[in-house]
Amino acid sequence: MSGPWVLEPLHILLRLALAVVLGGIIGIERERTNHAAGFRTHILVCLGAALIMLLSAYGFADFAEEEGVNMDPARLAAQVISGIGFLGAGVIMRNGVSITGLTTAASLWVVAAIGLAVGAGYYIGASVTTFLVLFSLLILNKAEKRWFAAQRKYTLKLHAAESFRGMAALSEHLEQKGVDIISMKASHSADKENEEQRAQMQYTIMLKITAANVLPALIDRVSKLPGVLEVQID
């Protein structure tokens, strides 16, 4: 049987192999930077998307000539785009006001699109997209850190004894370092069962820092203030 709905086994093998290669290239970058979804995950997503595209386009060739049958090669593959969202959501984590994993979730989504493109035989589009994804993850990542450093915001969480009176000294130190205080909130510790915790205060300070290299010295200075028990920065 031949026709537009039939693909030779060798071509099927080549498309699946290319999906492994392109997905693995992006996965290596994510694995290298120690992200939750790394080398194998990106390979599996790209390979699975390519297989679904192949199945959607060529897996029902036996029914293509049947009367009343309308073939739609994009129908099954379209579900990959919505389905990949569940996997992407699994790598997004929230820690206080900070959210991590968005870039990895986006890379999984685009890897699924690359797999679909490979499965459909759109090799040039899949290859160029892989190159652009790597350019974004490697080159633009460094450029973003350099260009937008002045707009970066951090949250300083300070656990201190209730008798802590060092906020004036802290504010003066931040001003000397060129750190802008955007907002500040103070509250008693929420744990009412522990007597020691009840005597603590928690300060949440939103900062705008122009140079990330001041963070180690800032944390060290704050942790040495009298009455400070714990310092966290996100």
Q: H/E element holding 95?
A: strand 93-95
Nearest to 203 by CA among 226, 220, 186: 186
pLDDT along the chain (234 residues), means of 10: 72 94 92 84 94 86 66 79 81 65 88 94 94 90 68 76 75 76 74 54 78 71 79 76
* pLDDT at res. 94: 65
What is the distance between the alpha carbons of residues 88 and 103, in angstroms, rounded to a whole number? 10
Nearest to 84 by CA among 41, 120, 117: 41
User: Do strands 153-161 and 228-233 pair parallel, antiparallel, or not at all (unpaired)?
Assistant: antiparallel
Cα–Cα–Cα angle for 186, 95, 85, nearest 5°?
145
Q: Which residues pair with 100 in a beta bridge?
A: 93
What is the distance between the alpha carbons of residues 4 and 230, in angstroms, rounded to a whole number? 66
* pLDDT at res. 42: 93
* pLDDT at res. 220: 78
Question: Alpha carbon of 175 to those of 168, 172, 181, 183, 218: distances in Å?
Answer: 11, 5, 8, 14, 11
* pLDDT at res. 125: 95
* pLDDT at res. 116: 93
Domains in the chain (CATH in brackets) are 9-147 (no CATH), 150-233 (3.30.70.260)
* pLDDT at res. 138: 86
* pLDDT at res. 149: 58
Q: Residue 219 burial by CB count (10 A; 0-12/13-18/19+): exposed, middle or buried?
A: middle
What is the distance between the alpha carbons of residues 140 and 208, in angstroms, rounded to a whole number? 22
* pLDDT at res. 148: 64
* pLDDT at res. 17: 96
